[in-house]
């Protein structure tokens, strides 16, 4: 990831709580949040809500998707 974090203004910040849902999906090796939605059948809106309200669940979903695609 390049550029400055919008939260801490650190160059190349990788703090998962500072990343957008899409950036966090990409950080674990997925193509996009849309890919996560397609794999899980969960809407983008719900995934975004999980990112905000249930970050541990969101991370588990991302890791499960990554495992599912066999990357």
Is 1 within the bounds of a domain? no
Is 9 within the bounds of a domain? no
Q: Domain of 60?
A: 16-68
Return the structure tokens found at 15: 């703090």
Residue with token string 């899980």: 40
Is 49 within the bounds of a domain? yes
| pLDDT 10s digits, 30-61 | 999 999 999 999 999 999 999 999 999 999 99
Please give the tally of structural domains in the chain: 1
Which region, left, alpha or beta, applies to residue 42 given φ > 0 means left and ψ of -120 to 50 means alpha?
beta
Query: What is the residue-averaged pLDDT of the chain?
Result: 84
Whether the per-residue pLDDT at 1 is higher than 50: the answer is no
Residue with token string 């390049």: 2
Query: What is this structure's pTM?
Result: 0.76
Whether the per-residue pLDDT at 3 is higher than 70: the answer is no
**Between these two residues, 45 and 28, which has the higher pLDDT value?**
45
């Amino acid at each position: 990831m390049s550029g400055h974090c919008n939260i801490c203004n650190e160059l190349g910040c990788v703090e998962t709580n500072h990343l957008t849902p899409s950036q966090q999906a990409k950080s674990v090796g997925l193509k996009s949040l849309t890919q996560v939605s397609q794999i899980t059948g969960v809407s983008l809106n719900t995934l975004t809500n999980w990112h905000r309200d249930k970050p541990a669940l969101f991370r588990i979903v991302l890791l499960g998707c990554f495992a599912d695609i066999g990357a």
